[in-house]
Amino acid sequence: MTTADILATQSNDPEFDNVWDELVYRGLVHVSTDQEALRELLGGEAITYYCGFDPTAPSLHLGNLVQLLVMRRLQLAGHKPLGLVGGSTGLIGDPRPTAERVLKSREQTAEWVDRIRVHVEKFLSSEGDNALRIVNNLDWTEPLSAIEFLRDIGKNFRVGTMLKKDAVSARLNSDAGISYTEFSYQILQGLDFRELYRAYGCVLQTGGSDQWGNLTSGTDLIRRSEGVSVHAIGTPLITNSDGTKFGKSEGNAIWLDPEMTSPYAFYQFWLNQDDADVVDRLKIFTFLTKAQVQELADQVEARPFAREAQKRLAYEVTALVHGHDAAQAAIDASAALFGQGDLALLPADVLASAIAELPHATVAPGTTVSQALVATELVASLGAARRATAEGGVYVNNERVADEATDIASLTLSGGHAVLRRGKKTLAGITVQA
């Protein structure tokens, strides 16, 4: 199924006459400019809107996916998206609350801009009257001289207002302080909005609520210099029900690039969502209707052990990001790991991804099953390995092992990988060195 095929299956919920109401239902509006004016704007003739993505990494992540889905819902409502890649803002760095960013080289930034562009193009349609247009803010900032920047742009900003922005305020009160470079970031983002207003008639910017100060720098600049009121929507920062940051897995971000987070690991992340969070995730990250979400919410309430909502969530989002084939492969791998499918039939890359998510050890040729059990810490000692094997509780690739002295290399699958299991559910991966 191609990207175009996936986009063709998407639609907004027909229960909502206005896309604004659907955004509110899905919990995607945390802060905004005038709500009544926005609702009227989004329910009327097609408008042009934008969201910016800075190349702070070679891939977008789940926080960016929220913005891409907001953009897609607005596009499905007939509005015209501009996807901005930050060729210039990526060279400067959005202030973080804690410390200064390490500046990337021009070459690195340009490479990441190209990668981010591909991500954005994947989630929005490039066909029809409201096709996606990609813009790069380096195109209008690089030609500016320092004098032009200060006279024509900086003159419209008030330092007192700039100091009140959350990220700036946090940094000013920290030991790290803030450089003039990062302090100026909000001016650049305000300039972006004005440039897009002038060039395309863009009247709405979306972004995370932690970017609200940067979003309003654009609305303020346009009001001052153009005498026009434009709008901004800030989405909530998504957290888990226990207050921890969403989108982190053991300290690592969940990336949209399959080379950085495999489709299998991506699927498992969604499958492991807590009952208290899964319904909100369905609203935000899937195109399921309100009625479908409610049906799954009822199942969470009545049969939480079945985890039907988590399974549907994991499939829907993995298919959205990586395609239906990758989502089905992740399901097949999950089943096969626990003896409900043939591991040998899994593609080599899927098998490797699945094993990478397990406790894992790499061993030399000639390693016995018992030694492999100890190496993966499924058992504490060779003696315990022998006993577990004698009791019939040791499996390699879902086949019971009768002889603990068997060379594990003789049992491996493609890539020299194997799945060890002790009992019904305790798994580990093993890789035999070539």
pLDDT tens for 298-309 read 999 999 999 999
Nearest to 94 by CA among 168, 43, 14: 168
Hey, which CATH number is domain 358-434, 3.40.50.10260, 3.40.50.300, 3.10.180.10, 3.10.290.10?
3.10.290.10
Q: Is the pLDDT of residue 179 over 60?
A: yes
What are the pLDDT digits (tens) for 142-151?
Answer: 999 999 999 9
DSSP-derived letter for residue 100 is: P
- Round to whole Å and give the CA distance between 376 and 432: 12
Return the pLDDT at 125.
Answer: 97
Percent over 70 (pLDDT), the chain: 99
Q: Is the pLDDT of residue 250 over 60?
A: no
- Domain 239-345 in this protein, CATH class: mainly alpha
- Round to whole Å and give the CA distance between 212 and 403: 63
Q: Is 253 exposed, middle or buried (0-12, 13-18, 19+ CB in 10 A)?
A: middle
Q: Where are the domains of the chain?
A: 3-237, 239-345, 358-434
pTM equals 0.91
Q: Is the pLDDT of residue 252 over 90?
A: no
Q: Is the pLDDT of residue 279 over 60?
A: yes
What are the pLDDT digits (tens) for 374-424?
Answer: 999 999 999 998 999 999 999 999 999 999 899 998 998 888 899 999 988
CA distances from 247 to 85, 225, 238, 308, 334 (A): 22, 39, 8, 21, 21
- Round to whole Å and give the CA distance between 398 and 395: 5
Q: Is the pLDDT of residue 287 over 70?
A: yes
- Beta strand 248-249 with 252-253 is antiparallel
- Round to whole Å and give the CA distance between 359 and 361: 7
**Domain 3-237 belongs to what topology?**
Rossmann fold (3.40.50)
